[in-house]
Amino acid sequence: MKDKVADLLRTVSGDFVRNLGAATPDEINRQLRGLQRSISAALKKTNTKVDNVLVPRLQTMNTALAKLATERDRIAASLEKATQTATDVADRARSTAALSTLSEDERATPEGIAAALHNRLRATDAFEADVERLQKRGLDKSLIE
């Protein structure tokens, strides 16, 4: 009995909990079902009801952890998408301000360059103001993209 309980403690110590943090819902389910089997086997021929309490708790934990893992994956995907969007916007902003995109007439004089860049800046500021106004009215950011 003591050996089985010691094996059980070794199972849940160390990397077991750490691995749950990065596991998919299926991996969490598989690990907790294995733990349930280990608990049942360790306490099979004992005169306690510990396994009757632990197994239902593990099942409840399994459901909660699977839900959290799904939410974590959704948030990670959302962050990845937001990072890509930020990169795309920064690239577009750099290309908009690039002197190589100015016409020959705009590049002819320093005043022409300054005026063209000033006009682009005003247009960008106006666009940002329009987007902020629409967001305040409830427009979802995903529609803008």
Residue 20 CB neighbours (<10 A): 16
d(CA 138, CA 76): 24
Looking at the predicted structure, is the pLDDT value of residue 60 above 80? yes
pTM for the predicted model, two decimal places: 0.53
How does pLDDT run across 19-54, given as a tens digit for each residue? 777 788 888 888 888 878 877 777 777 777 776 777
CA 33 to CA 27: how far, in whole Å?
10
Domain-by-domain residue ranges, the chain?
A: 2-71, 98-144
What pLDDT shows up at residue 37? 80
> Of 1, 50, 61, 49, whose CA–CA distance to 25 is shortest?
61
Please state the rounded mean pLDDT for residues 51-76: 85
3-state secondary structure (DSSP) of residue 40: helix
The residue type found at 17 is: V
pLDDT of 119 strictly over 70: yes
The torsion angle over the Cα atoms of residues 136, 141, 144 and 145, rounded to 10 degrees, is 160
Q: pLDDT class for 15, splitting at 50, 70, 90?
A: low
For 93-100, what is the mean pLDDT?
Answer: 69
102: number of Cβ within 10 Å: 15
Local confidence band at 141 (pLDDT 50, 70, 90 cut-offs): low
Which one has a higher pLDDT value, 122 or 38? 122
Across the chain, what does the average pLDDT equal?
78
